[in-house]
Every structure is written in C-alpha cells, then in structure tokens.
Homo-oligomer: A and B are copies of this chain.
C-alpha cells in the first residue's frame, strides 16, 4: 500500500528515560514521519503524557499490534486513531440551544471532526422548530424526579446502541446521577455557565450580579460524580460593568459558553486532552 494515512497516538505512563526514543524508533519501522509531537512530565505525579501525529503507509491494525509491545514495556495507557476518523457524538440539550446550534454549524462547516448520532432533549422537538437539525435523530426524553431513573436508563440505552463515544452536555440543565456518570468517565463534557470554582450550582449569573464581579465566564469540564468539580478543560471570561443586568449577563454569557464548549469539544475530538487526576493536560 503506498497511500499515507495520518495517525494520532496518545499515551500516558510513569515517566522514565527512553520513552520518546522507544516510540520514535517504533514509528520509524513503519516508515512513520512524525508531523507533530507534544509531551508533558507532571513532576508532581510522575506521569508522562505524549501526543504524536505521524504519517505512515502501514495499516492501523499493524501499527497497533506492533505498538503493544512497547506499550506494555512502559506500562502505557494508550490510544491510536486515524486522524480523519469521525467520533460518534451524542448531544444533550435543554431549553437554551445556542451551544447546540453552534456545534451543529461547525460540524456542517467541517470544523468539527464528529458524527452527531443523536440529539437528546428533555424538551419536545418543536422547541427548536426554527432550526434545521437535518437527519440527526431527535429523542425527547422528558424527566421528572419520579422518572429520572427510567429516563437515564433510556439515555444509556441510546448511548450504547448508537455507539456514542462522546456525550456533550450543551446546556443540558439536568444533573446526571452517579450511575450514568460513572459509565461516561472521561467522555462526557459539560459547559458550566460560570468561571469555576466561582458560583457553583444554579443561577451563576444571578450570583455574579449579586457579588458585583467585573468579569463573567464559562467553564468546560469533564463530568464526574462531584457536581461542578470535574477536571476543567477550558475557561473564558468577558468584561462586564455595573450597567449589565442579569439578562444582559446571560446574553453575553451565551457567547462565552458556546465559544468555550466548542474549543473543549474540538480538543477532545482531536485527542488533545489527557485527564491527570482532577486536572487536564491539554496539548493545544
């Protein structure tokens, strides 16, 4: 085979000399040309993280098989993906649809390397009547305290059956319960409408208004069992002043939210994020 594919190798392991050489030598046996490589040693945890983009004429299965040996040697947690492969993404949304629409727009513009396998909302389809959601399956999963278990069971079934690799909470205003969160560790991204750890919980803009802060923000993070405490992927802020009402802060916030969520989802889809304890390593 003479066509070259582009691959992304990501790995994490205890740090020790020789990792880079071992990986580079291995790739060279596959005629691999390293196009980009980034690494990070976390001196506090002793963990080593690496992302390598390379081209090769070998088939991904062959590269993968051969990598197993070196991976075992260094106790690596690793992944190898073809760069063009589109991840299967499930989008969850509630009433506010600005994040959802922005993600779909980027997808249509070929700015996001994903395949939306479904949209799930606790509101009915006609909430989004103005928007062309295309052929993406829409699932209305209403939820009440009494039906939460059933709703999440159904949600999990959807995730499983659709082969979902990433769940995006695009302003989905329901708290997922521990059971489903545990199944989605490291592959469920939420956008919180405040500059965490400030203003956790509900109504962050009202909290910000009341405290009189001069910057408001948004935070994208992986979802964990600890509400609003998961590993932070990205954050951004906007300047406000005394004249901004809560409603105006919400409108400005929407802009920040969609910008931050977009960046976080893009980084995830490009295999640029590693979870390092309660933090993230992001190779931008």
The residues of A with any CB-CB pair to B shorter than 8 Å are: 15-21, 24-25, 27-28, 31-43, 98, 101, 105, 108-109, 111, 130-132, 134, 195-199, 211-215, 217, 231-237, 241-243, 245, 251, 255, 259, 276, 278-282, 284
B231 near A212 with CB under 8 A, answer: yes
A242 near B211 with CB under 8 A, answer: no
| Closest B residue by C-beta to A197 | B198
A276 near B242 with CB under 8 A, answer: yes
| Closest B residue by C-beta to A199 | B197
The 7 closest A-B pairs by CB, nearest first: A212-B279, A21-B24, A17-B33, A242-B281, A20-B24, A214-B235, A198-B198
Chain A contact residues, majority secondary structure: mixed
B108 near A130 with CB under 8 A, answer: yes
Contact of A27 among B21, B233, B236, B243 (CB under 8 A): B21
Q: How far is the CA of A233 from the CA of B282 in the complex (A)?
A: 24
A20 near B20 with CB under 8 A, answer: yes
Q: How far is the CA of A24 from the CA of B22 in the complex (A)?
A: 8
A215 near B231 with CB under 8 A, answer: no
Q: How far is the CA of A259 from the CA of B211 in the complex (A)?
A: 22
A20 near B37 with CB under 8 A, answer: yes
